[in-house]
Structure 1
């Protein structure tokens, strides 16, 4: 991606979040959402790796991710 190009339209993301939450949103809400997403994915992969190792699997599988998804989502529920 060339320098200066945006990955997504920030205004559109803010409009979508505002429409779904029926609340005013801050100036950098899209950045906050992205950072929360990254932390969620990091935690999900870490928990799935632990689950797969405990299950005797060689690597992270879809099954191990499915097993830990509900618990990881519960941690990030606001």
Structure 2
């Protein structure tokens, strides 16, 4: 972590999740949300890289990310 950066307020994240879900949340729900986010981003980048390679692009572009987003979101829908 870079100097001067603070950790996110765990209590605030829990309050937001509880307000949106209308149910009780566990003690480490913020950690689970973060890990799910990281897994989602990793999968999205892998899919975008595959789409970019199939399209003959040299790197990952916004177009390839947009193309992969719908499929990746469908995989992570609970």
Q: TM-score, normalised by structure 2?
A: 0.93
> Where does structure 1 differ by over 4 angstroms across 4 or more consecutive aligned residues?
none
Q: Aligned residue for 1:14?
A: 14
Q: Aligned residue for 2:28?
A: 28
Gaps of 5+ in 2: none
* 2:77 counterpart of 1:77: yes
Structure 1 residue 8: Cα displacement? 0.3
**What SS is found at the alignment partner of 2:16?**
helix
Query: Cα RMSD (Å) of the superposition?
Result: 1.1
Gaps of 5+ in 1: none
Structure 1 residue 14: Cα displacement? 0.0
* 2:71 counterpart of 1:57: no
Distance in structure 1 (CA, Å) of the matches to 2:34 and 2:9: 13
Distance in structure 2 (CA, Å) of the matches to 1:23 and 1:50: 38
Number of residue pairs aligned between Structure 1 and Structure 2 = 76
